[in-house]
Amino acid sequence: MNAEQKKGRLRPTAKDSALACVLAAACAGNLAAAAGELHGTSLVDPFQDPLHVRPAALDTGVALPGDSAPPACPMDDRHGTDAEHPLTLDRAVDLALCRSPQVRAAWAAIKVQAATLGEARAAYWPTLNASVARQHTQTRYPDSPGASTSASGHTGYLSTSWRLLDFGTRAAQREAAGQSLVAALASHDAALQKTLSSVIGAYFDALAAEGGMRARDQASQLAQSTLEATRRREQRGVAPMSDALQAGTALAKARLAQQRATGDYRKALSVLTYAIGLAPASLAAAPIRLVDNELAEPADGSELQAREAMNELAQWMAQAQARHPAIAAARAQLAASEARVAAARAEGLPTLDLTGNFYQNGYPNQGLQLNRSQVTTVGVVLSIPLFEGFARTYKIRGAQAQTEQSEAQLADTRNQVLMEVVKAHADAVSALGNLESSQTLMNAAQASVASSQRRYAGGAADILELLATQSTLADAQQERVRCLAEWRSARLRLVASAGALGRQAVLKR
């Protein structure tokens, strides 16, 4: 025995070097993979989803009901701010769906739940841990200096564990994670429908405000021409001075209404700007320009066809209960809560694990052994929870309470969705009925103005009658535009309230 062996010094063997090389290579591989992820390379692609939990929707996108492809995000930055590219409804929908914070948050929630499902599936796989350390151990005996020892070397540790059997804990957790992922996907669809309904309402409100502003502009121009005609009649001595004064008052009133209509239009544009996800400052820099003929008069017979195509309220409510994504998400959350109750109960039952350990030159958190050693252990461990201080009882009760909460949320979501359907259906029926009435009012007001102008020119009518008919015409024009906007908005919002609105339906409006 040589001097180094007497002192208990251990030199690294070939196995030590090999283990160190393997661990170093693993560390280098992890660093390279991390670097590849940061730089967008494909080094980590094989390890992105080894358990296949990522839903296909994250790669292909989510298509709206009735559509064959997901909405396309506009690539340019004009956003309907110039005359050559006015903001159409379908473009406003695309901008809103691509920029909505609610939609982005729901999209991120899908990724979160997919990762949770991956964790639940990973519980079926074994775990492997390894460690290597360089140590120096020195033992001194003050009364016997010759007996002092010192040792330097490597220690290695390798352990594995594999759960072979439980009583449903992992299955229940996997079921809960899967239902939560289903709920996240449905919640994303619900966010899309909510965004569609919001942007459609904002778009047609802006169109109605623009139509009202134009109607008030025309009324102001008509009042200006009436004042000029009255002044000419006054100069010829045909009309008294009071007629010119009343015409001037009507003009001032028309201009005030024009200013208010302009303010309402600007406010509606601001709301639309927010709905499609643009910065408020962009409205001042480049105001949105809407399509001129978006509220064109419907073709003959189209109102009757729309009335015949309008389903009964019971059909819309049945469709919403069967298809609305918000209700589907609430149902999935209830199923996930029920699975968590089963998981909480199963966690208090026995488990069976297969374990294996390999120790070289010592044990973790202990000093280096003087002699080289290798220890291997293999065993089967049966764990039986006997008493947890009543924690299991309260955990089960908490899970059951969450299930009751999910049941109440499902009922509340169903009531909210059906209430929205009822309101949207009533709005659509009312708007459809208002179309015919507004057209009748428009025709009557135009005829009254034409008759009053002829009568006033012939001296058979006074200025009050003429101004009254002109005011009625301005109101009729504004009501006609409003009724057209309300009808087109209401029928699309009805489909969105039922959870079945797609981009193709928007294009076929």
For residues 75 and 81, give the distance between their C-alpha atoms in angstroms, rounded to a whole number: 15
User: What is residue 41's predicted lDDT score, i.e. its pLDDT?
Assistant: 34
- What's this model's pTM, rounded to 2 decimal places? 0.78
Q: Inter-axis angle of helices 101-122 and 169-235, to 10 degrees? A: 170
Asked if residues 278 and 202 have their Cβ atoms less than 8 Å apart, the reply is no
The DSSP 8-state label assigned to residue 372 in this structure reads -
End-to-end CA distance of the chain: 97
DSSP assignment string, 201-260? HHHHHHHHHHHHHHHHHHHHHHHHHHHHHHHHHHHTTSS-HHHHHHHHHHHHHHHHHHHH
Q: What is the pLDDT of residue 288?
A: 80
Task: Give the Å distances, CA to CA, from 238 to 51, 247, 251, 361, 400.
Answer: 93, 15, 21, 122, 89
Q: Which two tokens stand for residue 378?
A: 């293999």
Degrees (nearest 5) of the Cα angle 98, 183, 346?
150
Per-residue model confidence (pLDDT) at position 128: 93
pLDDT at 428: 87
Q: What is the pLDDT of residues 61-106, one digit of tens each?
A: 888 888 888 887 776 555 555 556 788 888 888 888 888 899 999 9
User: Which pLDDT score is estimated for 75?
Assistant: 64
| Euclidean distance between CA atoms 33 and 43, whole angstroms | 6
The H or E element containing residue 285 is helix 280-285
Phi and psi dihedrals of 137, rounded to 5? -115, 130
**For the chain, what is the radius of gyration of the CA atoms?**
38
**CA–CA dist 65, 186 (Å, integer):** 12
CA 186 to chain CA centroid, nearest Å:
10
DSSP state of 123: T
Residue 284 pLDDT: 60
Residue 225 sits at the vertex; the CA angle it makes with 219 and 229, to the nearest 5 degrees, is 140
Q: Write the single-letter amino acid at 71.
A: P
Q: What is the pLDDT of residue 36?
A: 34
Question: What pLDDT does 127 receive?
Answer: 92
Give pLDDT, residue 343. Answer: 93
Nearest to 138 by CA among 8, 31, 311: 8
Q: What does residue 154 show for φ and ψ, rounded to 5 degrees?
A: -110, 145
Q: Write out residues in the chain with pLDDT < 70, as ranges.
A: 1-46, 75-84, 238-239, 280-286, 292-311, 508-509
Report which of 339, 336, 341, 318 is spatially closest to residue 410, judged by C-alpha positions. 336
